[in-house]
């Protein structure tokens, strides 16, 4: 797959699959540790140890399908933790050939520079919500260069993570509850891997960043993490018509649905599958659920108006009803380019006014004058610029404003124009935290800088750390609405409001 299109984007979110190598640091390390269910053996390298496929909850199958995660069973002897566990059920896509049907999938992976000591812990929530797995992200560079313990994990996706029916406890939130169970496992067990359970940073991209926002709001998640990092999340995103793929109507929220709506959709799906109750549905093979048209995407949004997510984040952020933890958040300079490329394909000059009319109605002419085709290299780039600014930049900046009124907030924009064929498109920044061999010299330096910022934030709640990391100073967002631009050889503040024409979009 081409670099740049490796960003795995679905109708509600994205995921990028990357790999990385280590460095020459050396620490004492053990390949066998004890966790609450027994001993596990990983793979010890010169500068880190990796443990994979550790169950953090019981297999959510059979009668446990669409129930809250239950404790994992104990095992005798030493469990092999040298290979990943099963991905959660998913159908794959045109940009990801991962397909899976085994519901025994609630596994996590730990990468640690040393099983001794107490290091900051970073818990990664992968994106997409319908495809992906934690082990797709090799955390070696992040763990060793940043001297942190990194945990990645799987959680229930699509219909298995977001299904709902009237009277079903947890409707729309099973994936969210899995994530919480993983955080609870980290609190109980991460000390065995050299991690500090009192210093946990929850971080994620796209759907994973939106999930992090849900945990910020959820009272049930309080105390399980102490900082949050969000890459290109959907916490405040609404969609104009035609903004994601052809024929999609306007959506008031991209990441959230009222629980009652999710339960109504679930009733309709159950009827189409010939079931009158949840017991019947639990008896269906996973393959049959996966074969339902669009069922993985229908249930990606998280349900709100319940104990797991009492309100949509926009309301909770405004009221300050969030965990009082530091937040580092941002998006990419050219967010929507890859989404246009993958989900719509080339936009023609004839398409452009039609799309503007569908999205903005009688305001379409104003948008066309602000974003004339003559100012862009192609109609596709014009349409992507419109949606980058309207769909991504406006709500991201508003999120910074709301959060910074209540918690320390640091804002970024990833801006490497060579990150992909679509520039700094959605989720291309993730390849700089989980770097691969495709990065050039300048990009590798940016990757190292981002790892230092991110891990200093995990360590102290401030990306500047103690001020000795040698990087450009990064002020809080509240200091002049500061947004830190991240590009090779150009780490500096950016006039984000002007760059993304936020005054123009204020009332649209």
Q: Which of 336, 344, 343, 428 is nearest to 376 (CA)?
A: 336
Dmax (CA) for the chain in angstroms is 69
How many beta carbons lie within 10 A of that of residue 73, not counting itself? 10
Q: Could you give the CA distance from residue 67 to residue 106 in angstroms, rounded to a whole number?
A: 13
Q: Could you give the CA distance from residue 495 to residue 481 in angstroms, rounded to a whole number?
A: 9
Residues paired with residue 304 on neighbouring β-strands, in sequence order: 258
Do the strands 49-55 and 78-80 form a parallel or antiparallel pair, or are they unpaired? unpaired
Q: Which residues contact 267 (CB under 8 A, 6 or more apart)?
A: 165, 166
Q: Which residues contact 464 (CB under 8 A, 6 or more apart)?
A: 456, 471, 473, 474
Active site residue 206: yes
Active site residue 94: no
Supply the angle between the helices 351-360 and 379-387 in degrees, to the nearest 10.
Answer: 20
Residue 434 contacts residue 141 (beta carbons within 8 Å): yes
Active site residue 335: yes
Residues paired with residue 151 on neighbouring β-strands, in sequence order: 110, 123
Q: Could you give the CA distance from residue 457 to residue 169 in angstroms, rounded to a whole number?
A: 36
Catalytic residue among 426, 427, 447, 482: 426
Do the strands 49-55 and 43-44 form a parallel or antiparallel pair, or are they unpaired? antiparallel
Catalytic residue among 335, 336, 420, 485: 335
Catalytic residue among 96, 114, 192, 206: 206
Active site residues: 206, 335, 426
């Amino acid at each position: 797959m081409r670099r740049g299109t490796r960003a795995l984007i679905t109708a509600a979110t994205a995921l990028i699959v990357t790999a990385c190598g280590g460095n020459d640091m050396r620490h004492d390390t053990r390949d066998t540790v004890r966790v609450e269910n027994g001993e596990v053996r990983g793979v010890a390298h010169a500068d880190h140890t990796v443990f994979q496929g550790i169950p953090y909850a019981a297999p959510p199958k059979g009668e446990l399908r669409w129930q809250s995660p239950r404790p994992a069973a104990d095992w005798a002897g030493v469990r092999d933790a040298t290979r990943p566990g099963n991905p959660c059920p998913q159908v794959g896509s045109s940009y990801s050939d991962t397909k899976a049907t085994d519901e025994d999938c609630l596994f996590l992976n730990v990468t640690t520079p040393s099983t001794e000591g107490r290091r900051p812990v970073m818990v990664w929530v992968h994106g997409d919500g319908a495809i992906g797995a934690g082990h797709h992200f090799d955390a070696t560079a992040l763990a060793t260069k940043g001297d942190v313990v990194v945990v990645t994990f799987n959680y229930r996706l699509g219909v298995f993570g977001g299904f709902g029916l009237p009277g079903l406890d947890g409707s729309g939130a099973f994936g969210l509850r899995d994530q919480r169970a993983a955080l609870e496992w980290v609190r109980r067990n991460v000390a065995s891997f050299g991690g500090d359970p009192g210093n946990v940073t929850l971080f994620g991209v796209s759907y994973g960043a939106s999930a992090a926002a849900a945990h910020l709001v959820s009272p049930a998640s309080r105390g399980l993490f102490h900082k949050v990092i969000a890459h290109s999340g959907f916490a405040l995103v609404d969609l104009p018509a035609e903004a994601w793929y052809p024929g999609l109507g306007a959506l008031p929220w991209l990441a959230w649905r009222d629980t009652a709506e999710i339960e109504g959709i679930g009733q309709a799906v159950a009827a189409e599958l010939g079931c009158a109750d949840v017991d019947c549905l639990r008896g269906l093979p996973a393959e049959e659920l996966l074969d339902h048209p669009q069922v993985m995407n229908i249930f990606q949004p998280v349900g709100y108006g319940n104990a797991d997510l009492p309100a949509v984040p926009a309301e909770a952020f405004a009221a300050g009803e969030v965990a009082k933890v530091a937040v580092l958040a941002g998006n990419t300079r050219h967010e929507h380019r890859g989404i246009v490329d993958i989900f719509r394909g080339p936009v023609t000059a004839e398409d452009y006014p039609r799309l503007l009319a569908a999205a903005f109605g009688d305001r379409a002419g104003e948008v066309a004058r602000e974003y004339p085709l003559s100012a862009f290299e192609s109609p596709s780039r014009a349409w992507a610029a419109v949606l980058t600014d309207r769909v991504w930049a406006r709500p991201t900046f508003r999120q910074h404003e709301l959060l910074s009124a209540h918690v320390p907030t640091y804002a970024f924009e990833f801006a490497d124009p060579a990150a992909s064929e679509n520039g700094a498109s959605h989720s291309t920044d993730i390849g700089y935290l989980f770097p691969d061999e495709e990065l050039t010299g300048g990009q590798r330096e940016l990757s190292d800088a981002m790892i230092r910022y991110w891990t200093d934030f995990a360590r102290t709640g401030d990306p500047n750390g103690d001020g000795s990391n040698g990087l450009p100073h990064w002020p809080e967002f509240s200091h002049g609405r500061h947004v830190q631009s991240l590009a090779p050889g150009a780490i500096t503040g950016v006039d984000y409001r002007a760059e993304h024409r936020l005054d123009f979009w204020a009332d649209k």
